[in-house]
Amino acid sequence: LVTDLMAALDYDYVFACGPEPMMRAVHALCPRGQFSFEGRMACGFGACMGCSRETNFGSKRVCVDGPVFAGEEIAW
């Protein structure tokens, strides 16, 4: 697991993309960073709200407001 490798490294900021459960585990080890999300997008420009996800600052659209979110934005 990527989290097993992280235990041996010295870091204070991460860049992560991949499956959401993996990014959740990475975020738990290091919340400072940038996390790239994938979302099912029907329109691709924010009109349908199909890719919306809750953040600590309200609902955001992956296709328009992301796909990269800062660690402190993410509400798991």
pLDDT in tens, 44-63: 788 888 889 999 999 999 99
Structure confidence at residue 50 (pLDDT)? 87
State residue 33's pLDDT score: 96
3-state DSSP of the chain: CHHHHHCCCCCCCEEEECCHHHHHHHHHHCCCEEEECCCCCCCCCCCCCCCEEEEECEEEEHHHHCCEEEHHHECC
pTM over 0.85? The answer is: yes
pLDDT score of 39 more than 90: no
